[in-house]
Amino acid sequence: MATLSGGPAGNRSPPAAVRRFGRGDPEYPERLTHLHDPPAGLWARGAIRLPADRMIGIVGTRRATEYGRRMAHDLAFDLATAGWAIVSGLAAGIDAAAHRGALAAGGTTIAVLGCGVDRVYPAANRGLYQAIGQGGLLLSEYPPEQAPRKFNFPERNRIIAALSSALVVVQAGERSGALITAGLALNLGREVLAVPGPADQSVSRGAHQLLRDGAAVAETALDVLRQLYGPAYDGSATVQGTLFDASGSLPDAARPAPAARLREALAGGPAPVDELSRVTGIEVSETLATLCRMEIGGKVRSLPGHRFELVRRP
């Protein structure tokens, strides 16, 4: 393990510990061996080890709209809450929103870089870079000190595709790099989903093309999980009241975590604690404790009469 010094302001991170692992090392993911040109090794910086599985990629355009950023954030939040690590590329727009959603949920996020892990690119994402370094993982096949280069980014996309069990495209133009990542994921046998958007926006065209080509629709985290868990999960339970009323019939690994179930139950408006407990199937004591943690995190607010509502981001 080496300690690297920082560089010019606005270009590199503060001094940080960086490690490298190659093929044959325990941390090197078997998933990368599915590539015809797997990286010989990876450089990593962060507080966690690279998971062996349970990773979902969320990618899209740098020129995201508010709708796109919100969808990426909320999908990442709910999937991270359900125990999945979110993989993306730290680019502006959709990538950054996905990373932030996973961090907001207290979950795991992995940024695959097109430069060395001691480089911050784009510079505007310095704060996010540092947050991922403290609570997630920065990953690159390029050695420290390697500057970002145009052709590095299509190469790093294959790592995002290979690590992910499913890849979700949230807004993409007709020539977006996200479509390259989706093609790589399909070639690797990964599930590919796309978020539909307004038909009159150019950033919807790539995602809509994927949908025409057979990609699954991703409107919620549950759509992604249904795609992964197959027909027994998809549509097999009778849903009453809220989306998660029937969650008790789902496999344990597929059941959304309490915070995600409560967020879904509150999507229709404020509700009292006892009603939330009933429709989610969560014990009243756990419902209240989870809501208190969500309130501290700024996700919900309490109202008179033991009622709660979601905090809507502007």
| Cα distance between residue 16 and residue 118, in whole Å | 8
Domain limits for position 272 = 247-310
Based on the fold, state whether residues 264 and 300 are members of the same structural domain. Answer: yes
Using a cut of 0.75, tell me whether the model's pTM lies above it: no
| Domain assignment present for 242 | no
| Domain assignment present for 237 | no
> What local confidence, expressed as pLDDT, does residue 242 receive?
29
The answer to whether the beta carbons of residues 117 and 141 sit under 8 Å apart is: no
> What local confidence, expressed as pLDDT, does residue 296 receive?
67
Based on the fold, state whether residues 17 and 152 are members of the same structural domain. Answer: yes
> What local confidence, expressed as pLDDT, does residue 295 receive?
73
The domain boundary residue, chosen from 227, 262, 288: 227
H-only helix segments in the chain? 66-81, 94-104, 126-135, 152-163, 177-187, 205-212, 221-229, 258-265, 273-280, 284-296
> What local confidence, expressed as pLDDT, does residue 185 receive?
93
| Domain assignment present for 158 | yes
| Cα distance between residue 252 and residue 139, in whole Å | 30
Based on the fold, state whether residues 206 and 278 are members of the same structural domain. Answer: no
Based on the fold, state whether residues 129 and 260 are members of the same structural domain. Answer: no
Based on the fold, state whether residues 258 and 220 are members of the same structural domain. Answer: no
Based on the fold, state whether residues 207 and 265 are members of the same structural domain. Answer: no
| Domain assignment present for 241 | no
Domain count, the chain: 2
What three-state secondary structure class fits 215? coil
> What local confidence, expressed as pLDDT, does residue 156 receive?
93
| Cα distance between residue 256 and residue 220, in whole Å | 12
For residue 294, give the CATH number of its domain. 1.10.10.10
DSSP state of 90: -
Based on the fold, state whether residues 119 and 44 are members of the same structural domain. Answer: yes
| Domain assignment present for 163 | yes
Q: Which of 108, 93, 100 is nearest to 178 (CA)?
A: 93
Based on the fold, state whether residues 169 and 199 are members of the same structural domain. Answer: yes
Q: Which of 292, 213, 306 is nearest to 258 (CA)?
A: 292
Based on the fold, state whether residues 185 and 284 are members of the same structural domain. Answer: no
Based on the fold, state whether residues 70 and 151 are members of the same structural domain. Answer: yes
Per-residue pLDDT of the chain (314 residues; tens, 9 = 90+): 333 333 333 344 444 589 999 998 989 989 999 999 999 999 999 988 898 889 999 999 999 999 999 999 999 999 999 889 999 999 999 999 999 999 999 899 999 999 999 999 999 999 999 999 998 999 999 999 888 888 888 899 999 999 999 999 999 988 888 999 999 999 999 999 999 999 989 999 999 999 999 999 999 998 998 888 764 544 333 222 223 333 333 344 444 578 878 888 887 788 888 888 888 888 877 888 788 777 766 778 888 777 888 887 55
Based on the fold, state whether residues 160 and 296 are members of the same structural domain. Answer: no
Based on the fold, state whether residues 171 and 219 are members of the same structural domain. Answer: yes
